[in-house]
């Protein structure tokens, strides 16, 4: 067994050792290990109980904490919007110092505007997030803005797991959002970049204090890539790997 996979299983208590081992070996084969950290959220692939959410990846150890008790489950952590549930992590992300890709494998269970993953402080005014913009759209949003950009039409996918990602360029001029095999990019002002150090958040964002934006649904994986390896091509390779390892039986397309 890969030594990093074994160490993760030992500290987290994860029992799906074969899938974790295959995923770690695959990430290393892709050359992404040192630039990636992820949070496997299926109960057999993490602690599966309590508030500590263990991280996996060579970028660093950035364990998370459940807030308001989103529920562990076999297919991931279930978030309930009206209960203001999310997971915050001890990562420290500065968008102005490196390209940053944020991503998740998730199942939305309603059609509202729902924050999936992002950087910042909950209820704050700066950051970068990936969200369901409506029943049929996925969108990226950046520092202090009220307009989603760019967005992509993903049809009505409520009730099914899908892979979603958003990429923020270090220059602060390009944001790309991805759903399945489709991507959409747009050029944005430099306010996309903020120079503060912020944590990575799962199930909410830094930009809106209102509980109306908390996640509603299940998240099986949250992921972050930093630096030159933060590309949509690498995210595509990771999703292919994930479907055959940690993501088996989720019904991913």
Contact (CB, 8 A) for 194 and 207: no
pLDDT higher than 90, residue 223: yes
18, two tokens: 């074969």
Residue with tokens 């799962």: 202
Mean pLDDT to the nearest integer, 88-109:
90
Contact (CB, 8 A) for 77 and 70: yes
Instruction: Give the pLDDT score at 247.
Output: 98
Contact (CB, 8 A) for 125 and 133: no
pTM (two decimals) = 0.93
Least confident of 11-15, 82-86, 208-212: 208-212
pLDDT higher than 60, residue 123: no
Mean pLDDT to the nearest integer, 17-30:
98
Angle between the 232-244 and 17-29 helix axes, to the nearest 10 degrees?
Answer: 150
Q: State how far the Cα of 173 lies from the Cα of 227, in Å rounded to an integer.
A: 16
Looking at CATH, the fold of the domain delimited by 3-244 is given as: Jelly Rolls (2.60.120)
Contact (CB, 8 A) for 137 and 152: yes
Higher pLDDT, 103 or 190: 103
In percent, the amount of the chain with pLDDT more than 70 equals 87
- Kindly report, residue by residue over 31-78, the tens digit of the pLDDT: 999 999 999 999 999 999 999 999 999 999 999 999 999 999 999 999
């Amino acid at each position: 067994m890969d030594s990093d996979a074994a160490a993760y299983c030992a500290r987290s208590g994860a029992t799906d050792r074969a899938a974790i081992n295959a995923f770690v070996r695959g990430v290393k084969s892709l050359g992404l290990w040192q630039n990636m950290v992820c949070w496997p959220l299926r109960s057999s692939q993490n602690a599966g109980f309590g508030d500590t959410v263990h991280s996996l990846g060579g970028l660093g150890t950035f364990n998370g904490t459940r807030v308001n008790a989103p529920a562990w489950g076999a297919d991931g952590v279930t978030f309930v919007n009206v209960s203001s549930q999310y997971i915050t992590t001890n990562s420290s992300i500065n968008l102005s110092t490196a390209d940053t890709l944020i991503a998740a494998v998730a199942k939305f269970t309603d059609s509202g505007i729902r924050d999936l993953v992002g950087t910042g402080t909950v209820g704050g005014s700066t950051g970068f997030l990936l969200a369901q913009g409506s029943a049929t759209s996925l969108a990226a949003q950046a520092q202090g803005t009220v307009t989603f950009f760019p967005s992509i039409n993903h049809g009505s996918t409520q009730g099914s797991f899908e892979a979603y990602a958003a990429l923020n360029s270090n220059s602060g001029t390009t944001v790309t959002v991805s759903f399945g095999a489709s991507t959409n990019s747009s050029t944005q002002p430099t306010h996309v970049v903020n120079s503060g150090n912020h944590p990575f958040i799962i199930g909410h964002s830094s930009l809106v204090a209102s509980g109306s934006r908390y996640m509603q649904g299940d998240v099986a994986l949250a992921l972050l890539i930093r630096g030159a390896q933060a590309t949509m091509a690498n995210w595509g390779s990771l999703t292919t790997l994930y479907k055959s390892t940690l993501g088996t039986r989720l019904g991913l397309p």
